[in-house]
Structure 1
Amino acid sequence: MAAKPIYRVVVHQHGEVWELYVREIFQSELWGFIEVEEFVFGDPNRVVVDPTSEKLERTLEGVKRSYLPLNAIMRIDEVERGGPLKAVKSEARVAEFPRPFPLPSRDS
């Protein structure tokens, strides 16, 4: 049986660009979201310590499933193997996801 594929998901999150590795990814029943499951973390026996990778591992520790907004996802790739999680500061601005309905006015 072939091993499950691994996906690299690059997402914009609170002024940072996160590079995550997951085994499951699919369209959510929540409109405008992608679900990702089974996070793949780097090699626990690695000698080099990366503070950003460790920060993301602590942030995602115990997370079973994550819902990512479509407009925050920059790229999704199927890769041969996982890598270290990364978080890089970004000045990019993420556009709001378009809505099919008008927002109520603030005067109401």
Structure 2
Amino acid sequence: MSIVKSPIYKVIFHNNNKVYELYARAIYQSDMYGFIEVEEFVFGEQSQLVVNPGEEKLKTEFNGVTRSYIPMHAIVRIDEVEKEGAGKIVESEGGSNIRSFPIPGGRPVSKGPDSE
């Protein structure tokens, strides 16, 4: 008899000059245009002796959250992984080479008086 495990996803995204890395069992394209829904957050089991401060900060921030809506342009990467790792929040470096995709439906390019 084979037990089918639900997949685990590692989601990396930008939020307030920080890079978040978290694990979840359910990810969907939202009905709200431009957002990804993330549900069923997974946090690694910690022993009483070892505490990961990065993951504890993440647990505190997402305490009581059942579903999170993340803007698509903030997503850096989503990977399906075999098991969860330690989630974390790190400061985004000013010289980072990570850039957001252009936002669709942005402001139109202004045309000069010579163009039609």
Q: Cα 1:51–1:70, aligned 2, differ >3 Å: closer, same or farther?
A: same
Query: How far, CA to CA, are the matches of 2:101 and 2:89 in structure 1?
Result: 20
Question: CA deviation digits over 1:17-63, x for unaligned, max 9?
Answer: 11010000010000000001000011132633222211110110111
Structure 2: tracts of 5 or more residues without a match? 109-116
Aligned-residue RMSD, C-alpha: 1.9
How far has the Cα of 1:16 moved from its partner?
0.8
Mapped partners of 2:13, 2:33: distance in 1:
18
Taking only the aligned residue pairs, the percentage that are identical comes to 50
Q: Which has the higher contact order (CA 8 A, sep 6+)?
A: 1
Kindly state the Cα deviation for residue 66 of structure 1 after the two structures are TM-superposed: 0.4
In structure 2, give the amino acid aligned to 1:36.
V
1:97 and 2:96 correspond:
no
Q: Which runs of 5+ in 1 are unaligned?
A: 103-108
User: Which residue matches 1:54?
Assistant: 56
Provide the TM-score with structure 1 as the length reference: 0.84
Larger Rg: 2
Q: TM-score, normalised by structure 2?
A: 0.78
